[in-house]
Amino acid sequence: QSALTQPPSASGSPGQSVTISCTGTSSDVGAYNNVSWYQQYPGKAPKPMIHEVSKRPSGVPDRFSGSKSGNTASLTVSGLQAEDEADYYCCSNAGSNNWVFGGGTKLTVL
């Protein structure tokens, strides 16, 4: 199972919007609406920000949104804030009780 493809980096200025893509295949991202996104600060455990493509867990600001088209999922962060600077990982179910993560994207707030 190959990792999902994410851009290594993304950036934006405070208040702007940034979108991070996550490309898989018809066997994972394209096959299931089970894409999730995780935020990770250095030295900390990941925190879920989006599940089932576009649902936000309790407590996650509505500045974070998710979508999917075909084999590509996306995470959009609107109204960027300094605290959004972190690494972001997508994850998808890949069938047969298997899961696969993306390589991660480092988001920089300029």
Q: How far is the CB of 8 from another protein (least distance, A)?
A: 10
The residue within the footprint of another protein, chosen from 9, 14, 17, 52 (CB under 8 A), is 52
Piece of the chain touching another protein by CB under 8 A; list 11-19, 20-28, 49-57, 66-74: 49-57
The residue within the footprint of another protein, chosen from 24, 28, 29, 36 (CB under 8 A), is 36
Q: State which residue, 13 or 43, has the beta carbon closest to another protein.
A: 43
57 binds another protein, rule: CB under 8 A: yes
Task: Return all residues near 51 (Cβ < 8 A) that are at least 6 apart.
Answer: 34, 36, 37, 57
DSSP E strands in the chain: the ranges are 9-12, 18-23, 36-40, 47-50, 64-69, 72-77, 86-93, 99-101, 105-109
Task: Return all residues near 6 (Cβ < 8 A) that are at least 6 apart.
Answer: 20, 21, 22, 23, 88, 89, 90, 102, 103, 104, 105
Q: How far is the CB of 13 from another protein (least distance, A)?
A: 26
Q: How far is the CB of 24 from another protein (least distance, A)?
A: 13
Interacting residues with another protein (CB under 8 A)? 1, 3, 34, 36, 38, 40, 45-48, 51-52, 57, 89, 91, 93, 96-104
